[in-house]
Chain A
Amino acid sequence: MPMPAESLIPNASGLITSKMMNYLGINKLEDLFSDVPDSILINEPTGIGRSLTQSEVEALYSEKLEKNISFKLSFMGGGIADHYVPPLVDELVTNQEFYSSYTPYQPEISQGILQALFEYQSLMAELLGMDVVNASLYDYASALGEAGRFSVRVTKRKKILLATTTHPERKAVLKTYMEPLDVQIVEINREASGEISFDELSASMDENVGMVYLETPNFFGVVERGIEDVADIAHSKGALLVVGTDPLLAGIVKPPGELGADVVIGEGQHLGGYMSYGGPSLGIFAVRRSFRHIRQLPGRLIGMTKTVDRRYRGYTMVLQTREQHIRQEEATSNITTNSSLMAVRAAIYLALLGPDGIRSVAEKILYNTEYLKRKLSDLPCFSVLFENSLHFKEIPVVSEIPWGEVNSWLLRNGILGAFQVSKLFPDADSTGKLGLLSTTEKHRLADLDLLLRLMEEVCS
């Protein structure tokens, strides 16, 4: 009986292996490892265990996942959320021609993925009000890290002003990425509304600042209403304005590209991706068409072009001379693998929903957010932070009862509750009472009412 593994390795059958070894004039596979010092060549198998059959693998996997606690509804916030994925997205990206292809180094045989990525770049540019979007980065946080490095390359300045309402995890990643560059990061406080303080920003601006960064919605779900003013302040001293955003917000609110942002970054998981315990994710990175910016872009770019005989329109990767395999240590970033398949997901999602579909998703989220916010404020033991500001998707809720208890009660009723901020980010919540609830287009009014009813029950 062959091992299950052998069914994956066509030449593992004894006869074929022997035939090939005969041709090479060897007797055993070990002979091909004669250049490995004897002292380190191992003969005993590693400790992975025996080879399982396909059905055993599936059964074991399901058995382990049964240890997870399942729930019917998720209201957990913190940067990733439970969005609806139209089945066609799954159907199309499971074409092996998409998922099992590699980086399209040979354009003629890879037109399909190249065009799909060009469409991602184009659709995302329209949505965000920008001109050029790269063909994806790892995630929102690493896009922020790359934005920091980008600003240093473009402006040759080593100071960053960062809204204190930035997601703590993204803030941490920015610090990791900037640390070797010896860049100074200064945090800018918020107003009572939860929005960035113009006064503090203006006071901190000087000719050394290369980048001003803020998020909309920010960590507390607050939509920044003064981005144009922030852009003016940043530009008055020659700094770049980088805005992080949820692309779905652009379905209803003017996108950062129309408000003066030089770079827009964000998370694309919301566009046709699953939560999947936090990954894969999709890092968005968009800039204006300024040549000096495009040359400094991190990551891969797909361009439309023509065939050599000029007869056909086609697609290919461009500006590869910025990339690691050519410029090596002079490259704009080290990115090789990105999140192409997630970008294809986003392209399909955007094409499928169209302008009206995107608007309807954004509207639904905004209605749900506003409804939850009002009703939560009415409950005796919960209050909403920055209640009078405009929130999108994420609602910061202060609880008089420890969130652990509230969440346990919700989980017992099939609901994944709030993200307890202080647990992971004590800096962002010293009270220990702050939770982030998140609502998406998936939640029907009845779902919101169920959550509210259960939260009311905890109170009483």
Chain B
Amino acid sequence: MNRRYVQAKWQLSEGILEPTVFELGEIGKGGVVVARVEDELRREVGELEDLIPQDLQRGAIGLPGLTEPEVARHYSHLAQMNYGVDSGPYWLGSCTMKYTPKVAMKLESHPSLRNAHPYAPEESVQGILEILYELQEMLSSITGLPKFTLQPAAGAHGELVGALIIRKRFLDLGERRDEILIPESAHGSNFASAAMAGFKVVRIPPSEEGTVDMGALRAAISERTAGMMITNPNTLGIFESDILEIADLLHSNGSYLYYDGANLNAIMGWVRLSDMGVDLAHLNVHKTFSAPHGGGGPGAGAVGVIEELADYLPVPVIVREGDTYRLDYDLPKSIGRVRMFHGNIGVLVKAWGYLKLLGSEGVRLSSGIAVLNANYVRKRLMDMGFEVPYGKDRPCKHEFVISLSRFRREYGVRALDFAKALMDRGVHPPTMYFPLIVQEAFMMEPTESDSLEELDSYVYAMGELADLARSDPDELLSAPKNTAIGRIDDSFANKRLWLSWKVYKDRESS
């Protein structure tokens, strides 16, 4: 229970942990030679100096030179100074980091996929197209939305696609609708995506229960409303039980209901989006379907729509004709293209593998246990006196939000300090200070990947920190101590803006 953690740490000297490649390398040294110009080729072509105009010839390249073993050690050291989901709990609420089965990881490295060119003739990539088509079918089966595109590179990219589809639809209908409604408990990216697509954002405040305030919603809907972007369960982990009424209100106004699928992992296999009246949705393939997040990406989005909106999807879409698969570029109403080629295929095949491994019952089970885990941890924390500001009298879904504002008020200990102290106990802190409607927020999402022992040890650590906040707050304020480095100065970073080695060297010397 009383777990301690010591992260690996490399230290060159007092003040510097692992040096940068610029300090490790030397000019004129090392480097892996991967290409050699054959003598005959050189004789045929002549000197490059005769090809490239003199004023365009490159001078010195300011890259460091390192040998292969030096590069191997350097980045291995960096890996050791980093924490991943396989290291331990990583409860980033609304960001859903869960374990990725290694069999799914392996699919990406198949030579037949790695060597496939995106413009290769369709007959030469039937296997890939079939896998992608099957993934679309599985996503349709989970959501009830008939048509999908796998192109978006991320969830927020999918939101942009969704918002652009709504925009294009109303342009085609000749209606001027320029507002999108977004509950304040939605993901932060929804606001930015709607704005990027040219919409004015109308914020819907939460009710005391933490769900959409129906009065405020009714008041906000007008002939300018193009649609609503909703997250359900929302970022408080609360299911919007009024969802059918919300959908009806929008539909009877001629507006569309957009669903942010980042929290789908709470309900997949339990509720179909189409049954909730959803018209279009994006799914975060890289989290809900377990593909890892790579320190920030690549991810993959997928956008599903009802038939009425199918013609607006970005081109190309993958279609099946008998036993063959084809890329269809002929969608005259399409919003256009949102990236090159067909999507982050390497990420998408992991989702295919994950869903095959889970099967129908596994999909439902993974959501069910994720919800069980969240409710278990929430109850234990509530029993210890932690404050759940919204929805404590009803089950939560995959995540929940506690407020640590009492600790700040009474002992001067912030959510941030709790987070830093949690690291010393071998867990990655949860999402903090989000959603913005909760003070000193801790948004916790255990997912289905953590064992009961892990859940208990996390809860134990939270209890320990609550005790310390009362008895010895300095202990929390000076955390972390067991990570590779002590507390980082973010404001110093924002003032100095040492954004590259070049900038750092220049500013340091001036």
Contacts and interface: CB of A to CB of B under 8 A. Distances in A.
A370 B16 contact: no
Interface string B336-367: 11111111111101001101111111111110
Contacts of B92: 102, 105
Contacts, number: 739
Nearest to B383: A23
A35 interface: yes
Interface residues of B, number: 214
A138 B154 contact: yes
Contact of A301 (B114, B448, B499): B499
B75 A116 contact: yes
A369 B120 CA distance: 21
Interface string A102-141: 1111111111110111110111011100011101101111
A126 B337 contact: no
Given A98-B295, A275-B114, A279-B342, A10 B449 contact: yes
Interface string B461-496: 000000000000000000010011111111011101
A68 B127 contact: yes
B38 A445 contact: yes
Interface in A276-316: 276-281, 289, 294, 300-316
Nearest to A340: B296
Contacts of A95: 75-76, 79
A112 B10 CA distance: 11
A356 B41 CA distance: 19
Interface residues of A, number: 206
A82 B192 contact: no
Interface in A75-116: 76, 78-80, 82, 84, 86, 88, 90-92, 94-113, 115-116
B328 interface: no
Interface in B98-141: 99-101, 103-110, 112-121, 123-128, 130-131, 138, 141
A102 B95 contact: yes
Given A325-B434, A367-B41, A119 B20 contact: yes
Given A24-B375, A304-B493, A312-B15, A358 B61 contact: yes
Contacts of A176: 164, 314, 335-338
Interface in A359-383: 359-361, 363-368, 370-371, 374
Contact of A49 (B48, B79, B359): B359
Given A119-B21, A170-B340, A333 B31 contact: no
A451 to B, nearest CB: 14
Nearest to A331: B192
A128 to B, nearest CB: 10
B113 A32 contact: no
A45 B365 CA distance: 10
A311 B493 contact: no
B353 A50 contact: no
B271 A42 contact: yes
A250 B62 CA distance: 11
A-B interface, 8 closest residue pairs, ranked by CB to CB distance from nearest: A5-B362, A278-B341, A180-B198, A341-B294, A278-B118, A112-B82, A51-B359, A354-B31
